[in-house]
Amino acid sequence: MLKNKEMFNFLNYKIMRKIFTSALFVAGCLFGSKAQTTIATYVTGCGGQFEFSPPYQDRASIGVYNDVSGNYRVFDTVEVESVQDVVIDGDFAYLAAQDSIVKYDLTSLTRVSSVSFSSVYKMTIAGSYLIVSKFYGSSPFLYVLDKTDLTTLFSINEVDQNFNKAVVIGDSLYVPNNVKGTVDMYPPYQVYKDTLGRIAVIDIPNQSFVRYIELDTAGAGIKSLYQKGNKIYGLGSDKGIMVEYNTATGNITFVSNTGLKNIFDLHNDTLYGLSSTGIKGFDLSTLSLVNGDNDLVSNDSILAARYDSLNQRFICTFTDYVSYGAAKVYDYQGNEVSSYAVGISPEAVAVYYSANNPVVVNARTLASSKTRKIYPNPAADYLFIETHQNETVYLFDVSGRLVISQPVFEGKNQLDVHQLKNGVYFLKINEETIKFVKQ
């Protein structure tokens, strides 16, 4: 009698599990086509190999990488020898490349427009504006462009040195603008360090200079500004001093001994920057280093870096300017989680977040492995997935749009694809990306 009861319980368990699995499958089919997921794509601008004279063989390029594909793809080449910056605004990327600014649509990986801009340096997106710094030459160094069509709206002569990043609060534009030191008495008569730090305040509606905020020698070398509430933060890189300016009260606070050389990102209360040995974080709520004197990422060869707040990772680039370019991704504990090759001189990197990310394809067409089988391929109505573990299947179209997200369980599962349009799709399961054809 006990044996029969055990058999009944076992059969009942198998039936209920099958019903539960089927319910999840139906839910996935009903709602999966509307599901979206946000993916972080790393956009990299590469200047190419350093070449002394023409004819130049290795031109500047821009490419993308994400974990969906695990592959780096160059999607445009620019006929110049260097890049200075790349910034993201929604689904658009802006590339500063030597003597031009190029705008891209990241959903289609295509050029939207470009404009000539001699000695372009760094850029900041602020509302409808593209704030641009010139690299060298004579004043003005500050230009304000319309980000939609890249037309120049106005420039400011009082900003007479280059800068990395500005901020806009209300109708006021705040721009780092150092006072240069005296000219060296020996050839080539260069000025290597700033003597005084200051911030230029610009009235945007009136397109006019208002005043300088003086930061004295403590703020010398300030290049980038970040905003948190009514406060502005910057780094006096000559001495590694953090500057806090309260726009409401006019108070200025200096924090010494940060150990930072520059700052590159702000997320929540933490500013991230490069030290001589790696990446550090600076807590704005306590005005102190996040991890004491310890780096979040220990690597003294980082060329450019950004923080991926979605995955709590750092994307870093490396090069020798002649033979290689590389990118490495580190987690918040400083462990390297992935790496990939990029173009030589990858001096600009940014993170693009979107539910419609471009999927960089280098997928296998043979859908089988030690852990799972996927068939038939091509498929008309159903795709069968045999796996040895519970996992989730993500199906993307060629534009990178997620069309189905469905859990699968140990054993044989089926994915209903009959409502999909005919064409090529990409199945993402854990670390595998598999191409299949809907017919």
Class of 41-354 in CATH: mainly beta
Structure confidence by residue, pLDDT tens digits, 420-437: 988 888 888 876 778 888
Cis peptide before 55 (omega within 30 of 0): yes
pLDDT, residue 371, reads 66
Hey, what amino acid is at 411? G
pLDDT, residue 188, reads 54
Cβ neighbour number for residue 145 with a 10 Å cutoff: 22
Calculate ∠ Cα 370-371-372, nearest 5°: 105
Quote the pTM value: 0.75
- Please give the full DSSP string across 372-437, using - where no structure is assigned: EEEE-SSBSSEEEEEESS-EEEEEEETTS-EEEEEEE-SEEEEEE-TTSPSEEEEEEETTEEEEEE
Mean pLDDT for the chain?
Answer: 86
Q: Which residue has the higher pLDDT, 16 or 91?
A: 91
Please list the residue range(s) of the chain that carry CATH number 2.60.40.3080. 20-37+360-438
How far, in Å, are 42, 137, 244, 424 from residue 412 at the CA level? 35, 67, 59, 23
CATH no. for 20-37+360-438: 2.60.40.3080
Question: In this structure, what token pair is assigned to residue 88?
Answer: 């993201």
Average pLDDT over residues 176-198: 70
pLDDT at 53 over 80: no
pLDDT at 23 over 80: no
Please list the residue range(s) of the chain that carry CATH number 2.130.10.10. 41-354
Give Cβ neighbours of residue 7 (< 8 Å, ≥ 6 apart).
Answer: none
Structure confidence by residue, pLDDT tens digits, 338-365: 999 999 999 999 999 986 555 554 544 4
pLDDT, residue 393, reads 87
Task: Please name the helix (run of DSSP H) or strand (run of DSSP E) that holds residue 11, with its range, or none.
Answer: helix 2-31
Question: Across the beta sheet with 336-342, what order do the strands follow?
Answer: 304-308, 313-319, 325-331, 336-342
Beta carbons of 352 and 88 less than 8 angstroms apart: yes
Question: In this structure, what token pair is assigned to residue 435?
Answer: 């191409």
Tell me how far apart the alpha carbons of residues 117 and 104 are, in angstroms, rounded to a whole number. Answer: 16
Q: Which residue has the higher pLDDT, 237 or 21?
A: 237
Average pLDDT over residues 136-160: 97
- Residue whose tokens read 């930061």: 215
